[in-house]
Structures are given as C-alpha cells and as structure tokens.
Structure 1
Amino acid sequence: MTTQLAGKRLVVVGGGSGIGREIAAQAAAAGAIVTLAGRDPARVEAAASRIGNGVGAARVDLGDEASIRALAEQVGELDYLVSLAAAHANGPVGELDRTAVAGAFDAKVIGPIMLAKHLAPRFAAGGAMLLFSGFVAWRPSPGLSVMATTNGAVSFLAAALAVELAPVRVNALSPGVVDSGAWDRMGAEKDAFFRDVAVRNPARRVGQPADIAAAALMALTNPFLTGTTLHVDGGGRLEVPSANA
C-alpha cells in the first residue's frame, strides 16, 4: 500500500479529528499528498499541523455548493477523495427539528453528491471516492432514525455513483463503535459502554481509528473494488449471543 499511495493526491473531507485524521496521517506517512478539508478552518489547520508531512488544509461546507466548487478549484487534479462529514439530528421522531434533519442529509448524502459533481471530473486515472456510512443503518434503534436513514442512503449512493462515474471507483465504509474521541462526551460512562459493546460483538472489542484507516486506504487503492460497502464494525451489525451465553 505504501508504494500505491506515494505521490497520490488525497482529499479528506471531515478529517479534523479521529478517524479522518488517522486516515490522513497514515496516507501522508506513506507518501501521499494530503489535503484536509472541513467547515472550521482553524480545526483542520490544527489537525494538518499536528500530522505534519506537508498535509494541507482547505475549507468546505457540504451544505454550501459554492464552497464545494471552490474546493474543487483549489485542489485541481486528485487521485482519491474520502468524505467522513456528519451532522447529527438524533432524538425521537416527534421532537426532530427539520433544519437539523436537512443538515444531516447535507453532510452525508447531498454534500457527497455535490462533491461527485464538482470533483469527479478532476480524478486522475485509477481515482476513487470513499464515503462513510455507519452500522446504525443495519441496527436502527429509537432516537436514531435520521442517522440510520442517512447512513443507509450512503451505501446506496456509493453503488449508484460507482455505476455513473465509472471508471472512477466509489465505495462506502461502515464503521462500528470506534474509540475515536467521539464517545468521550460520555465521561465516566464510556468505559462501561465500551465493555458492553465488546461483549456483544463477535470481535469482542471496540474499534480503533487505525483499524478503520487501514480499511479505508485499502478501499482507495484496490483497483478491483467498487460499488461496495465495507463493514468494518467488529460484527457490530449482527445479532449475536454474548460471550457468556
């Protein structure tokens, strides 16, 4: 994979922290020319500085087509694009705010369509896109209807774009529960939650950003992989007995 990434131009949208930053770091270490893009310039610039290896930063808002067009013009030609952007609209259906729901679709579905519109014509031969889904699409639960729907749509979008944009390859990656920093808001409850997740999934552990980054870079560089959703979730989407059953 190191030789496959050397000199390749990679744009990571939503890569200011966690999994996205790890993807950028692994790719840059392998010799890729990486640009982190996100809504908060200070955040992506800080992440790029932390990674080093010449990683650049750019602003993009997936709810604003003009900013996507500007990103395309700034980037020029590229080889690989990853979109991890997300905006949450969680809660009971009866309490959902329409603006928040629309924002969730902008980040996960409409925005990636606009990324394809403006960036797909700029891909070099062998180029690939990777969109991020999530296991909640296959394991919905109360209060997560919007998340389940947007993540499910990502999977179908990747298949549709793989056909329309061919020979540009398009895949989706669906991670499970990953210790990426996103769960830190749980405070003292996080460790107990992770133990429960580990007991219930077949891998008997939670994921790490490095697990997801390795799969992401494989999806980008494998020339015979397209129109597929990779489930890198420790089996978390499956209904399995506990380790003590």
Structure 2
Amino acid sequence: MTTLDGATVLVIGGAKNLGLAIATRADELGAHVVIGAREVDDARQAAAGLRDAQGVALDITDESSIASAISDIGRVDHVVSTAAAHHNVAVTDLEHDRVVTAFEAKVIGPLLLAKHLATVLPESGSFTLFSGVAAWNPSPGLSIMGITNGAVASAVTHLAAELAPIRVNAVSPGIIDSGTWDGMPEADRDALFVNASQNALAGRVGTAADVVDAVAWLWGAGYVSGETIHVEGGARHH
C-alpha cells in the first residue's frame, strides 16, 4: 500500500503513543486524519503536529460521544481503535466497575462504534481493533487484560461477517517500546524489556513501527477480514 490520498482515517486513542504513531503514518500516506480522544484538547494538540488532521472529542465508553463524533466527521474510510482501560490486579482484588470499564474500552465501545459506522464506512472501508498477546499468554494479575483482548479477537470475526464487505481485523501486539511503559520506574521497565526479549523468538521487544506497519498493511489488504494479526516476535510460541 502506497497511498491513502483522498481517504479519511479516524484513530481513536490517536493523541499519544501507538495511536499517534498510527495517525502519523496515515498522515504521511496522504489521508485526512481525525484523532479521537476523551480530552478534545489532547486530540487537537496532536492533530496540530500533522499535515492534514483534526481532533475530536470521542469517549469510547460513551455511546452518545461516539455518535456525535461520527456525525461531526461525516465521511470515514478507515477506523482504528487503540483504546484500553487496564485493571491489572489479582482476581481476588477485582473491582466490578473497573472490570466493566475495561470491557467498555476494548469490546463494548468498539461494538457501538461498529453500530454507528456500519452505514458510514464505504464498502472498501476497514475497521481495525487492538487485541494483545496477554490473551494467549495467561498470567496471574493480568486476567482482565487477557480476557478483554481475547474477546477482541472473537469480536472481529463476528463483526467481519456482519459488516461485510467492510473489513474488520485486529492487531495483537506483544511488548512494544512505544511510550506506553514510560511511566514505570526505569529499572522496572528495563527488566520488563529484558524479560520480553528473552520470551520472544525475535529476541527483542517491538517498536512502534512494527505495529504501525501491520496496521498500514491492513488498510490496503483488501482480501483480509476477520483476522487477528500477531505482532509479538513469536512470544506465543516461545
């Protein structure tokens, strides 16, 4: 795929980290980019740094916000949602409302996105969700991350069937050095990356470009739908 000239790409969660990297690639490929974020100022600030972009308020956990944003945007060709709301605790410490919010960000919100996009996206359009390697590598304390990411992989198969010929896929990253982990103490982050490198067949952590390349490929992969593309260096097979 070499161009998105004339296309509009909506990136939810596009104001930072992987989302911003995806928005930047779409911008470089010639698209009009719409960055959706809960805080509209964050979205507009990120959009200001791109060639042809705008920021909109879009809260994936609020259907009225979804409907309003899509109505305001008008035309959309490709949609990517990187939204997540982590609740990484032991099962004995689970909080009901935070579990619900995690599912709203990863599963329920994208389903409602699909509801409002089904009549907006053209037949050549695509919808890309984000799963994650935690779904396939169960780990104590990460059950909600794993279960919600697993649900995303299931959701894209069902949405692909219902929204056809609009294509619906997911990208499932492993441990990616994209800025997501920058809030951790440096020693902890370094230990995480060393462990992830040892547990990936590729022998390293991922980069933002690794993930963005997969998303950009899916924009142009007209014969791929209902799939989850694993970008985790073989971590599931270690």
Classify the TM-score, shorter chain: over 0.9
Question: Which residue is 1:106 aligned to?
Answer: 104
> Following the alignment from structure 1 to structure 2, what is the Cα–Cα distance between the partners of residues 90 and 192?
18
1:76 to 50, 74, 97: 74
Question: Which residue is 2:208 aligned to?
Answer: 209
TM-score (norm 1): 0.94
Offset, 1:106: 0.5
List alignment gaps of at least 5 residues for structure 1.
241-245
Runs of 4+ with >6 A deviation:
none
Offset, 1:126: 0.5
Question: Which residue is 1:38 aligned to?
Answer: 37
Q: Deviations over 1:57-105 (max 9, x none)?
A: 0111111111111011011121100011000111011111111111000
Equivalent residues of 1:15, 1:38 under 8 A apart: yes
Question: Which residue is 1:243 aligned to?
Answer: none
Question: Which residue is 1:228 aligned to?
Answer: 227
- Following superposition of structure 1 onto structure 2, how do residues 88-99 of structure 1 map, counting pairs within 5 Å? 88-99=86-97
Q: The residue matched to 1:184 in structure 2 has which SS?
A: coil
Question: Which residue is 1:178 aligned to?
Answer: 176
Q: Deviations over 1:99-138 (max 9, x none)?
A: 1111000000000000000012101230010000000000
Look up the equivalent residue of 1:16 and give its one-letter code: A
Is 1:20 paired with 2:15? Answer: no
Look up the equivalent residue of 2:225 and give its one-letter code: T
Question: Which residue is 2:145 aligned to?
Answer: 147
Look up the equivalent residue of 1:200 and give its one-letter code: N
Equivalent residues of 1:15, 1:24 under 8 A apart: yes
> Following the alignment from structure 2 to structure 1, what is the Cα–Cα distance between the partners of residues 41 and 169?
29
Offset, 1:143: 0.7
Q: The residue matched to 1:170 in structure 2 has which SS?
A: strand
Q: The residue matched to 1:220 in structure 2 has which SS?
A: helix
Q: Percent same amino acid at aligned positions?
A: 44
Equivalent residues of 1:179, 1:208 under 8 A apart: yes
Question: Which residue is 1:200 aligned to?
Answer: 199
Equivalent residues of 2:31, 2:52 under 8 A apart: no
> Following the alignment from structure 2 to structure 1, what is the Cα–Cα distance between the partners of residues 201 and 28?
31
Look up the equivalent residue of 1:2 and give its one-letter code: T
Larger mean CA deviation between 154-163 and 12-21 belongs to 12-21
Equivalent residues of 1:36, 1:55 under 8 A apart: yes
Equivalent residues of 1:136, 1:237 under 8 A apart: no
Look up the equivalent residue of 2:184 and give its one-letter code: M
Question: Which residue is 1:164 aligned to?
Answer: 162
Larger mean CA deviation between 199-208 and 162-171 belongs to 199-208
Equivalent residues of 2:2, 2:29 under 8 A apart: yes
> Following the alignment from structure 2 to structure 1, what is the Cα–Cα distance between the partners of residues 128 and 181?
23
- RMSD, aligned α-carbons: 1.0
Offset, 1:18: 1.0
Q: The residue matched to 2:157 in structure 1 has which SS?
A: helix
Equivalent residues of 2:200, 2:233 under 8 A apart: yes
TM-score (norm 2): 0.97
Equivalent residues of 1:132, 1:154 under 8 A apart: yes
> Following the alignment from structure 1 to structure 2, what is the Cα–Cα distance between the partners of residues 202 and 106?
33
Offset, 1:186: 2.0
Offset, 1:6: 1.5
Q: The residue matched to 2:48 in structure 1 has which SS?
A: helix
